[in-house]
Chains A and B, each alone.
Chain A
Amino acid sequence: MIPLDELVLFSGLLFSLGIFGVLTRRNFIMLLISIEIMMNSAILNFIAFAAYSPAGNSLLEVSGQGIAVVLIGLAATEVALGLAIVLALNRIIGSVDVADAMQLKL
């Protein structure tokens, strides 16, 4: 079994990768992908801690895996919504670059 440390470290690396993507990419679709990566790092955390829950505490194990499943669904929904926004944005401003969508400022 993979040690918990490595799992959490991997999850942190994934999260940092996502944040790096969000901060540096200007393409909306790339942003969405980066957010997905961050989301998956969180899901991986749930799975890892569920697997290492104290012996005999099946409630923690099951709820960790359950939340992971719910989060996968949530991520799918989020991508669907995000892609819809990207399509709408593309239709309005003719671009998927975040630098072109700066109207929502004071």
Chain B
Amino acid sequence: MIDYFWYAFLVPLSTAIGFVVLGLGGTFFKKGGGFIAVIAEGAALVFGVFFAYQESLSSTLYHDTSFVWFALPDGTSFVMGTLVSPLGALMLLVVNIVGFLVVLYSMEYMAHEEGLPRYYAEMMLFLTAMNGLVLADNYLEFILMWELVGLCSYLLIGFFWKKPEAASAAKKAFLVTRVGDVLLFVGVFIFFTSLGGIVDPSITTSPYPGQVCSSAGINWACAGFTFAPPNADSNVVFLSANSVASVTARDPNLMTLAGLLILGGAAGKSAQFPLHTWLPDAMEGPTTVSALIHAATMVAAGVFLLAITSIYIGFTPTAALVVLAIGGFTSLFAGTMGLVARDIKRVIAYSTMSQLGYMVMAVGAASLVAIGPGAAMFHLFTHAFFKALLFLSAGSIIHALGTQDLFAMGGLLRKMPVTGYTMLIGALALSGIPPFSGFFSKDGLLSLTWTAAQHYPGALVFFLMALVGVLLTALYIFRLWFLAFSGTEARESSAHPAHEPSWVMRAPLVTLAGLTLVAGFLPLLSGFSHLLPGVQWGAFGYASSGSGFSFSQTDLFLGLVSLGLALTGLLTAYALWGNGRVFRLADESPLKGLHTVLVRKYYFDEAYDGLAHGGVLGIARAFDWFDRYVIDGTVHAFEDLFRIASERGRRIQTGLVSSYVSWVVFGLIVLVFFFLYALPYLTSAWGGG
């Protein structure tokens, strides 16, 4: 039997070739070499779908550690391995399908921009790193790819670098995610130092009750989906559920800390509270970049990281509960800010934060109730399509109108029907209206969180926050849709008459709309459900199931509640903004204060600025003072000493011969005194020594 998976490196390699060709010779091609990018990403798409399909058939882990990256003298070696796993295969689908459609869309959307070879080369580098990330087999390789996607995010947010806002947004994104990355490093160091090389086959406890680990095959509950092969030799950096179990038994606080640090890294990348401030500003980048990087793939990498680490987090309920809390809180928190944003892209960015919050919450819930993170990954999968769809539709509007201000739009449905209806599909999916995919995935993770809340009552608060978030989601996304599309006339006349884009931009929209429609039903295919550990098809949605948790009436009730909330939000949005109405708060309204707080994004930017100015700058000033007055002061004191001594000393040189002679005589007298009296006295006093 041919092992297809040995060729899995072809996925990142395709785009890597595209990166090299476009990076070195992009200027020699027409239109910045967009067709080369499409071909390279097309190849990656074909390979990616092929490997994902193979994985769904076999549902085994393929693990290759033959390429040694570097080895330490003590025998520890770090490999650039390949791991084809169910979650990785799912990510391959997401990254390459969305990636291909976005690159295709760029051909027209970006056609009139300067610096296209740079754009395509950076997109290719991003896709290479992202495919590498999902195929990485150890945390070190993962971090390498993780940093590369962060770099590409920085470069692409700052694509319009001549705009000061874009340049500073790029810097902000880089610096804020850096905070998370440092936490992630430390978390991985803890894993490495406490777990690296530990292989204790005698411990076979699973974090999930009633399950016994076997050393072979794919078994979620054990090392089935970890970064390490069950049969790794001790030279390979080895992390398995077994070693985690043994370390957790020895030092539970350490594992909790490691889990929280990993969460910090994921929060930075996935724009979770409190490291969320960079994502709305990142909308300064091209819309295609927002669709690919800041909606579908890179920001989901944080959730992916949590998902592959969830088996470790599952050992420490504290860490899992914090993961759930951060996610649940962010889902509501981001939604409130999305309600008041004027910029069409920022509304979608807040919704991305909010949806990522749902996923993070679901990973935490899955860790708490000890099943696979399939519910989160399924939402990641469906979200990638409908969110990319929303961004690309928004891009289509921006392309046509040249403005991003929602209040300048209106009545676009007549002029841009394809964009309007595809965006409507995206909005319905985002709100969680059946039969669109978002309903099924959101229902699945809500019922999972409800299950977790049954066992850990603390989680109930965050479950309720997430439920309110469902209402807000429908409210803000339909506010956006009604403001842009309903009514008859634009509120402000734009420079360009609104028009539908060409097929190059319409095709990705329609394709994504189609995927949004069908993605919810994909788990019906048994192969696809292999890619989603911990999720099963229920009567009304995807109920969490696994060890002891099965589909029930509760799930049906929850589904109806969330559907009701979503419809309430939708109808409220229609009442306030439908049919060309524009709802604005009156100035004397008691809600005006809240509105201001939301518009100012809860003053987080100001708070972080204050922290930077008060804290970091204060410390910097202290160091500056120390450097200026203590270190430099010492040097200057020596300088002054010699300068003053020489200023005074030069006055001896009077030029008068008599005075020189007096000094000579004085010296003579001193010498005579010294040799005749002082020296004999000293030698006798010190015992002739």
Closest residue on chain A to residue B668 by CB atoms? A19
Q: Which segment of B477-485, B576-584, B621-629, B653-661 sits at the interface?
A: B653-661
Q: Is B612 an interface residue (CB 8 A)?
A: no
- Cα-based distance from A106 to B661 in the complex (angstroms): 17
User: Which chain B residues lie closer than 8 Å to A24 at the CB level?
Assistant: 658
- Check A98 against B658 for contact (C-beta < 8 Å): yes
Q: Shortest distance in angstroms between B679's beta carbon and chain A's nearest beta carbon? A: 21
- Check A102 against B662 for contact (C-beta < 8 Å): no
- Check B661 against A105 for contact (C-beta < 8 Å): no
A75-106 at interface with B (beta carbon < 8 Å): 98-99, 101-106
B437-463 at interface with A (beta carbon < 8 Å): none
- Check A98 against B653 for contact (C-beta < 8 Å): no
- Check A104 against B655 for contact (C-beta < 8 Å): yes
- Check B650 against A106 for contact (C-beta < 8 Å): yes
User: Which chain A residues lie closer than 8 Å to B655 at the CB level?
Assistant: 101-105
User: Which chain B residues lie closer than 8 Å to A102 at the CB level?
Assistant: 654-656
B121-142 at interface with A (beta carbon < 8 Å): none
Neighbour of B658 across the interface among A22, A104, A105, CB < 8 A: A22
Binary B-proximity of A24-36 (CB < 8 A = 1, otherwise 0): 1010000100000
Q: Is A2 an interface residue (CB 8 A)?
A: no
- Check B662 against A23 for contact (C-beta < 8 Å): yes
A43-101 at interface with B (beta carbon < 8 Å): 98-99, 101
Closest residue on chain A to residue B662 by CB atoms? A23
- Cα-based distance from A23 to B662 in the complex (angstroms): 7
User: Which chain A residues lie closer than 8 Å to B662 at the CB level?
Assistant: 23
Q: Shortest distance in angstroms between A63's beta carbon and chain B's nearest beta carbon? A: 24
- Cα-based distance from A102 to B653 in the complex (angstroms): 10
Closest residue on chain B to residue A22 by CB atoms? B661
Neighbour of B653 across the interface among A22, A31, A99, A105, CB < 8 A: A105
User: Which chain B residues lie closer than 8 Å to A101 at the CB level?
Assistant: 655, 657
Closest residue on chain B to residue A28 by CB atoms? B657
- Check B661 against A23 for contact (C-beta < 8 Å): yes
Q: Shortest distance in angstroms between B667's beta carbon and chain A's nearest beta carbon? A: 13
- Check A98 against B656 for contact (C-beta < 8 Å): yes
Question: B-side binding surface: helix, strand, loop or mixed?
Answer: helix
- Check B654 against A19 for contact (C-beta < 8 Å): no
Q: Shortest distance in angstroms between A102's beta carbon and chain B's nearest beta carbon? A: 3
Closest residue on chain B to residue A24 by CB atoms? B658
- Check A106 against B653 for contact (C-beta < 8 Å): yes
User: Which chain A residues lie closer than 8 Å to B658 at the CB level?
Assistant: 22-24, 26, 98
- Count the B residues whose beta carbon is within 8 Å of the partner chain — how many? 10
Q: Is B665 an interface residue (CB 8 A)?
A: yes
B631-663 at interface with A (beta carbon < 8 Å): 650, 653-658, 661-662
User: Which chain A residues lie closer than 8 Å to B657 at the CB level?
Assistant: 31, 98, 101
User: Which chain B residues lie closer than 8 Å to A99 at the CB level?
Assistant: 656
Binary A-proximity of B522-554 (CB < 8 A = 1, otherwise 0): 000000000000000000000000000000000
Binary A-proximity of B380-416 (CB < 8 A = 1, otherwise 0): 0000000000000000000000000000000000000
Closest residue on chain B to residue A34 by CB atoms? B661
Q: Shortest distance in angstroms between A49's beta carbon and chain B's nearest beta carbon? A: 18
- Cα-based distance from A53 to B658 in the complex (angstroms): 37
User: Which chain B residues lie closer than 8 Å to A103 at the CB level?
Assistant: 655
Q: Shortest distance in angstroms between B662's beta carbon and chain A's nearest beta carbon? A: 6
Q: Shortest distance in angstroms between A33's beta carbon and chain B's nearest beta carbon? A: 14
Q: Shortest distance in angstroms between B442's beta carbon and chain A's nearest beta carbon? A: 90
User: Which chain A residues lie closer than 8 Å to B656 at the CB level?
Assistant: 98-99, 102
Closest residue on chain A to residue B650 by CB atoms? A106
- Cα-based distance from A99 to B654 in the complex (angstroms): 10
- Cα-based distance from A26 to B653 in the complex (angstroms): 17
Neighbour of B654 across the interface among A22, A23, A26, A105, CB < 8 A: A105
- Cα-based distance from A98 to B655 in the complex (angstroms): 9
Binary B-proximity of A1-44 (CB < 8 A = 1, otherwise 0): 00000000000000000010011101000010000000000000
- Cα-based distance from A99 to B657 in the complex (angstroms): 8
User: Which chain B residues lie closer than 8 Å to A19 at the CB level?
Assistant: 661, 665
- Cα-based distance from A98 to B657 in the complex (angstroms): 7
Q: Shortest distance in angstroms between A23's beta carbon and chain B's nearest beta carbon? A: 6
Q: Shortest distance in angstroms between B652's beta carbon and chain A's nearest beta carbon? A: 9
User: Which chain A residues lie closer than 8 Å to B653 at the CB level?
Assistant: 105-106
- Cα-based distance from A19 to B658 in the complex (angstroms): 10
- Cα-based distance from A102 to B656 in the complex (angstroms): 6
User: Which chain A residues lie closer than 8 Å to B661 at the CB level?
Assistant: 19, 22-23
- Cα-based distance from A31 to B660 in the complex (angstroms): 13
User: Which chain B residues lie closer than 8 Å to A23 at the CB level?
Assistant: 658, 661-662, 665
Closest residue on chain B to residue A25 by CB atoms? B658
Closest residue on chain B to residue A99 by CB atoms? B656
Q: Shortest distance in angstroms between A4's beta carbon and chain B's nearest beta carbon? A: 19
Q: Shortest distance in angstroms between B671's beta carbon and chain A's nearest beta carbon? A: 15
User: Which chain B residues lie closer than 8 Å to A22 at the CB level?
Assistant: 658, 661
Closest residue on chain B to residue A31 by CB atoms? B657
Closest residue on chain B to residue A19 by CB atoms? B665
Give 26 A-B contacts (CB < 8 Å), ordered by A residue: A19-B661, A19-B665, A22-B658, A22-B661, A23-B658, A23-B661, A23-B662, A23-B665, A24-B658, A26-B658, A31-B657, A98-B656, A98-B657, A98-B658, A99-B656, A101-B655, A101-B657, A102-B654, A102-B655, A102-B656, A104-B655, A105-B653, A105-B654, A105-B655, A106-B650, A106-B653
4 new A-B contacts at CB < 8 Å, known A23-B662, A102-B654: A23-B665, A31-B657, A104-B655, A106-B650
Q: Enumerate the 9 nearest inter-chain pairs by beta-carbon distance, A residue then B residue, closest first.
A: A105-B655, A102-B655, A106-B653, A98-B657, A105-B653, A106-B650, A22-B661, A104-B655, A102-B656
Chain B interface (Cβ within 8 Å of chain A)?
Answer: 650, 653-658, 661-662, 665
Chain A interface (Cβ within 8 Å of chain B)?
Answer: 19, 22-24, 26, 31, 98-99, 101-106
